Structure 1
C-alpha cells in the first residue's frame, strides 16, 4: 500500500508479537518464574506504549503539517468516521464471539463492551479471552480528544515559531500523566490506569515526533545515531525489566516505581520509533529488516492479530484442560500463533480492508480556502 510506511508497520508488527508473547508467557506461568528471561518477558507490555506512541505520531501528523506548512486541516467528522470504521467492525466481531462463548453478561454488559465503555466500570468482571481489550477504550478516548487537542495547539502556535510553540504545548501533556499517576497512587485508585490521562505521555511523545517529522523532514543526526539509539533502547529495557520498575504480578507498584516505569517505557518507545520516523531512509539496514514485505504485511494485519490472540489462547487452554499458569509454553505458543495468524489474515482482508474502502467512498468535502497567514518554511530534509 503506497501511503504506508513499511518500517513503521514493521515496528507495529514487533509490538503485536510482544503482546502475544507476553500473554503466552503469563497464561503458561513462564512469566512468573525466576530468572532474567522471565523478567524480560514480563516487561513486554512495553508494546502498549509503542502502540500509543504510533497513534500519536500518525494521527496527529496531518494536523501538525497543517499548522506548520499551511495545508488543509483534517475535518473532525471525517476523521472520526474513518477511525470508527478502522477500529470497530473487527473489534465487534471478535468481542461478540468471545462474549457469546464465555461472557455470561446481561444486555448492559454487552452494551458496555461493544461501545468500548468497559474501562469505566472497574467493578465489572472481564470475560475470558478479552483481557487485552483494556487498551482500546484508551485509544478511542485519544481519537475523540485529538481534534480538540489539535485545535488548541494550532491556536497556541499562531504568532510565533510554530514548530517550537507546538512542541512547547505538547510538552505540557506529560504533566497530565504525572499528575494522574500521583493521584492514582496516593488515593489508591488503580482504575485511573485504565483512562487516557494516565497514558497521555505516550501519545504526547508521538505527537511531538509528528511535529519533528514535518518540521525536519529527515534528521541526519538521528540517522547517524540510529544504531546507538536502538542499543540504548534495549539497555533501558533491561533496566525496565528489574524490580526497580515494580513487580511482575498484578500487585500495584509504589508511586516511585510507577513514575520510573512510565518514564522508562516512554524513553524506550521513543528510542525505538525515532530512527524510523525521523530518519526514514529506506536503504538503511534497520529499514530493510523491519520494512521488508513479510514483516510490513504482518504489521498491517497486527490489529486483527492483537484482537484474536487472547481468545485463541483462551480457547486452546480450555480445550486442553490446562490449569491456570500450567500450560505447555511451546505448544501454546506455536498453535496460538498459527491459528491467530490465519484468523488475522481473514479478518483483515474481509473486515478491516472492506471497512477502509467504505470510509474512502464517503463524499469528499468542498475544499477550504487557503489559509491567509503564511506558515514558516520547513527546512530541507
Structure 2
C-alpha cells in the first residue's frame, strides 16, 4: 500500500500559504500597487491549479494502476463516501459559522452553500468570509465525475497500448477545458469559470501524471532535470505575473489572455509537481526541503487552513475597522496566520481525522477468526 508522500504534502502546504497570502494582499490593497512583487502576489491563485492537479494525480492513480497492472479497481461508492467524509464535515463547520455570522440568506440560500451548490447560482451574493469557497464545488464535481471518467478510460484503453491510450483519452479532457475557456470569452459567459469543464486542464494534467507514475515509475530523466524544471517553473511564474495573463482586477481578460493564463498555470503546476510525483527521491535536496516534518504537517492540515483563513481575515478586518483595501499588511498577515493555524490544527485533528476514522470503521469488513489484521489504507489526499 502506497504511503503518504511528504514532499507532495509540502507542495500542498505551499499552495495553501499562497492562497492565504493572496487574500492578505488583496484585502489590504498591497496586491494592486505598482511593481513586480504586487503582480506576483496577484498570481498566487496558481495554488488552485496546483490543488486541482494534485487531486487528479492522487485520486486517479488507483484507477490508472487498475488499467495498466490489472489490479482491482476502487469501489465507486466507497470512494465517494470517503470523499464526502474528507470534504464536508470541516466545510460544514466553517461555512455554517460564517453564514450564521455574516449572511442574510433565507434557508434556501443557506442550503445552497451547505450543499456546495453555490457555483450553480452565480447571481447570488457571496457572504463575507466565504469568497475562497468557489473552488470546492469544482473539486466535488470532479470527485463525483471521476468514477465515470475512469470507467470510460478503462474501456477505451483495453483496445491497445493501455498507457498510451489512457494518455490520449485524458488529452480530450484538456481539450474540453480549452473549448470551455474559448466559449466563455467569445460569448461573454464568465460564469463558466465556476464550473468543472473550465478547469479540467489541471485535473487532466494530474491524471496524466498518475498514468506516467504507474507506467514508468521513477523517471531518471525527470530526476536528473529536476533542478532545471523547478527553475523553469519559477521563470514561467514570473511570466504569468504580467499583463500577458490578464489584469489583476476583476476586469475580464481577453480570450488571448485567458488562454495564456490557462497554459502558463498548467505548465507551472506540472513543472512544480513532476520532480516529486515522477522522480521522488527522499534523500534529494528538493525532497528534504519540501518533505521536512514541518512542511509535511502543514500540508496535512492545509484543507482546514484553506477553509479558515478567509473568515479569520474577514473577522480581523471587521474588528479593527479597516477600510476596504487599506488594512495593514503585516498585522493582518501575522494575526491571521497565527489564528488560522490554531483553528486548523484543532479542526484537522478533531473533525477531519475523526470523520475519516469513522468512515474506515464503518466500511471495514469484519475479518474471520484467525485472519491477519488488514493493512491500513494510505491517508486520503
TM-score norm. by structure 1 comes to: 0.95
1:126 matched to which residue of 2? 126
Q: Distance in 2 between matches of 1:130 and 1:225?
A: 40
Q: Secondary structure at the match of 1:362?
A: helix
Q: Distance in 2 between matches of 1:247 and 1:136?
A: 24
After TM superposition, the structure 1 = structure 2 runs for residues 220-299 of structure 1, keeping only pairs within 5 Å, are: 220-299=220-299
Q: Distance in 2 between matches of 1:7 and 1:182?
A: 35
Q: Secondary structure at the match of 1:87?
A: helix
After TM superposition, the structure 1 = structure 2 runs for residues 66-215 of structure 1, keeping only pairs within 5 Å, are: 66-215=66-215
Cα shift at 1:2: 8.0
Q: Distance in 2 between matches of 1:159 and 1:182?
A: 32
In the TM superposition, what whole-angstrom CA distance separates every residue of 1:230-278 from its partner, at most 9, and x where no partner exists?
A: 0000000010000010000011000000001000000000000000000
Q: Secondary structure at the match of 1:171?
A: helix
1:329 matched to which residue of 2? 329
1:65 matched to which residue of 2? 65
Cα shift at 1:186: 1.1
Moved more, 198-207 or 357-366: 357-366
Cα shift at 1:52: 0.1
2:27 matched to which residue of 1? 27
1:376 matched to which residue of 2? none
In the TM superposition, what whole-angstrom CA distance separates every residue of 1:148-177 from its partner, at most 9, and x where no partner exists?
A: 000000000002111111011101111101
1:379 matched to which residue of 2? none
1:372 matched to which residue of 2? none
Q: Distance in 2 between matches of 1:202 and 1:263?
A: 10
Unaligned runs of 5+ in 2: 367-381
Cα shift at 1:365: 6.7
Q: Distance in 1 between matches of 2:150 and 2:51?
A: 20
1:47 matched to which residue of 2? 47
In the TM superposition, what whole-angstrom CA distance separates every residue of 1:277-296 from its partner, at most 9, and x where no partner exists?
A: 00011000000000001100
1:350 matched to which residue of 2? 350
Q: Distance in 2 between matches of 1:21 and 1:81?
A: 32
Cα shift at 1:201: 0.3
Q: Distance in 1 between matches of 2:103 and 2:144?
A: 28
Unaligned runs of 5+ in 1: 367-381
Query: Residues 335 and 67 from structure 1, CA distance in 2 versus in 1: closer, same or farther, beyond 3 angstroms?
Result: same
Q: Distance in 1 between matches of 2:359 and 2:268?
A: 34
Q: Distance in 2 between matches of 1:148 and 1:85?
A: 20
Q: Distance in 2 between matches of 1:298 and 1:291?
A: 10
Q: Distance in 1 between matches of 2:255 and 2:352?
A: 40
Q: Distance in 1 between matches of 2:226 and 2:283?
A: 13
In the TM superposition, what whole-angstrom CA distance separates every residue of 1:288-315 from its partner, at most 9, and x where no partner exists?
A: 0000011000000000000000000000
Aligned length: 367
2:4 matched to which residue of 1? 4
Moved more, 157-166 or 337-346: 157-166
Q: Distance in 1 between matches of 2:173 and 2:130?
A: 30
- Provide the aligned C-alpha RMSD in A: 1.3
In the TM superposition, what whole-angstrom CA distance separates every residue of 1:86-126 from its partner, at most 9, and x where no partner exists?
A: 00000000000000000111000110000000000010000
Q: Distance in 2 between matches of 1:2 and 1:315?
A: 40
In the TM superposition, what whole-angstrom CA distance separates every residue of 1:172-199 from its partner, at most 9, and x where no partner exists?
A: 1111011111111111110000000000
2:372 matched to which residue of 1? none
1:369 matched to which residue of 2? none
Q: Distance in 2 between matches of 1:44 and 1:335?
A: 20
Q: Distance in 2 between matches of 1:155 and 1:23?
A: 43
Q: Distance in 2 between matches of 1:362 and 1:154?
A: 29
2:375 matched to which residue of 1? none
Q: Distance in 1 between matches of 2:346 and 2:4?
A: 20
Q: Distance in 2 between matches of 1:127 and 1:317?
A: 15
